[in-house]
């Protein structure tokens, strides 16, 4: 389970996907499959969550990694490069951005 805290030294990646309502379920299934069968098994992976907006036009993905290099290495694998090409077909756009926790509130 993701943990949001200023005291951790994890790398947080938030990726937003834009799609049509007609492709939302297909994209969500592709992302779920990627996490279940590949991403979650990569070195440095901690946790992730997928969120869908009410209109089914956006998916937000929150993932945590031990190190920035772990996330980057996962992206460079042949497996993830293929999956990202498939994901690109299902979405209008997607952009992963790495963040550090500035503040958290419980």
CATH number at residue 50: 3.30.70.100
With respect to residue 81, please indicate whether it lies within any of the assigned structural domains: yes
With respect to residue 2, please indicate whether it lies within any of the assigned structural domains: no
Number of domains in the chain: 1
With respect to residue 5, please indicate whether it lies within any of the assigned structural domains: no
With respect to residue 1, please indicate whether it lies within any of the assigned structural domains: no
Query: 21, 58 in Cβ contact below 8 A?
Result: no
With respect to residue 4, please indicate whether it lies within any of the assigned structural domains: no
Q: What is the pLDDT of residue 40?
A: 98
What domain range is 43 assigned to? 11-99
CA distances from 15 to 11, 34, 46, 50, 63 (A): 13, 14, 16, 10, 8
Which residue's entry shows tokens 């901690």? 46
CA dihedral 95, 51, 85, 4 (to 10 degrees): 60
- Asked if residue 9 has pLDDT above 90, the reply is no
Phi, psi of 61 (to 5 degrees): -120, 130
Query: Region 58-86: what's the mean pLDDT?
Result: 96
Query: Region 75-100: what's the mean pLDDT?
Result: 95
This prediction has a pTM of 0.90
Query: Region 6-19: what's the mean pLDDT?
Result: 89
Query: Region 37-58: what's the mean pLDDT?
Result: 97
Confidence at 2, pLDDT banded by 50, 70, 90: low
């Amino acid at each position: 389970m993701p943990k949001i805290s200023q005291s951790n030294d994890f790398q947080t990646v938030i990726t937003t996907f834009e799609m049509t309502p007609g492709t939302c379920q297909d994209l969500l299934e592709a992302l779920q499959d990627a996490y279940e069968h590949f991403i979650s098994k990569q070195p440095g992976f901690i946790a992730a969550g997928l969120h869908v907006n009410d209109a089914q036009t956006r998916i937000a993905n929150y993932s945590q990694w031990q190190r920035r290099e772990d996330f980057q290495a996962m992206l460079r694998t042949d497996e993830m490069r293929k999956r990202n090409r498939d994901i690109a077909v299902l979405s209008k756009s997607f952009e992963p951005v790495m963040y550090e926790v500035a503040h958290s509130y419980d």
